[in-house]
Amino acid sequence: MAAIAVKGCVIVGEIPSQLGLLALYKKKCEKCSWEEAAASAGLIDPQTKEYLIGFSCPKCKNLQDVIIKEA
């Protein structure tokens, strides 16, 4: 199992759990390249093999998605 950043983030680690794969990531704006200083964590859904959230860049206010898939 491996977490793959599809859009809006950089993977910094992963932790397997009984509930699925926990991806550690930093949000990254695709418009201005701003990157979050601290890592966030998201549980990849074991059925869809995907984690999806939205975020607004604090620098340029761009609204975008964070998409992480399990390989």
pLDDT of residue 31: 97
pLDDT of residue 1: 77
Mean pLDDT of 11-28: 96
For the chain, give every domain's residue range. Answer: 3-70
Q: Predicted confidence band at 68 (pLDDT cuts at 50, 70, 90)? A: very high
Mean pLDDT of 27-51: 97
Residue among 44, 24, 46, 50 at smallest CA distance from 36: 24
pLDDT of residue 13: 97
* Average pLDDT across the chain, whole number: 96
CA dist 44 → 5, 54, 61, 62 (Å): 12, 15, 26, 24
Proportion of the chain above pLDDT 70, given as a percent? 100
